[in-house]
Amino acid sequence: MIDDTIPLTPATVHVCVDMQRLFGPQGPWATPWMERVLPVVTRLGERHPRRTVFSRFIPPKNPGDLPGQWQKYYRRWKHVTQAELDPSLLDLMPPLDRFVPPAFVVDKTRYSAFAGTTLYAHLLSRKADGLIITGSETDVCVLSTILDAVDAGFRVILVRDAVCSSSDEGHDALLKVYHGRYSEQIETADAQEILDRWQ
């Protein structure tokens, strides 16, 4: 649940994870729920585009460009490497792309939006006092981003109806974990609760 005693301020930032055509209906990693949550994410983006950050998951050109087990991963998904992928699939889903600029974009090669990106420095430069998290997938890149945000000490609010996964089981299990195991460090709310508070 959201902590009603702490306001959402002008320094609160919306971090939207990997809402890209890569994971859309025509993408190789299609996430069936994305179309359902896209209007909700769009409403949040519309509220404060200047306070929104989008991450994009960028596969390597070739499997050997990343270390260790990532090479095995991309040998399995070679058609998703940049050598074979339609580059337009890396774009944000319409209509989210219209928020950039002023929304900020970070490109990442790992699950977390913090890993190897300028996200942390960007948030510090904005004096961010809290993060509203949306995007794809609840149990992979959203999870990794949230845990890094917690480790960095940010207030974290997951928007329950603005995250999606290709696995119902994974999505449901992670919502229970966010609600229960991490209840001291991760707040959860529906988008309307956020919109009512984030002026």
Say which CATH number the domain at 75 has.
3.40.50.850
Domain assignment present for 110:
yes
Q: Domain range holding 65?
A: 12-197
Q: Residue 1 above 80 pLDDT? A: no
Domain assignment present for 145:
yes
Is residue 50 within 8 Å of 169, Cβ to Cβ? no
Domain assignment present for 164:
yes
Residue 153's pLDDT is what? 96
Domain assignment present for 37:
yes
Q: What are phi and psi of 189, to 5 degrees?
A: -155, 160
Domain assignment present for 1:
no
Q: Residue 179 above 90 pLDDT? A: no
Residue 174's pLDDT is what? 76
Q: Residue 175 above 90 pLDDT? A: no
pLDDT tens for 183-194 read: 889 999 999 999
Rounded to two decimals, the pTM is: 0.94
Confidence of residue 138 (pLDDT cuts 50, 70, 90): confident
CA distances to 28, 70, 75, 83 from 65, in Å: 20, 9, 11, 11
Question: In total, how many domains does the chain have?
Answer: 1
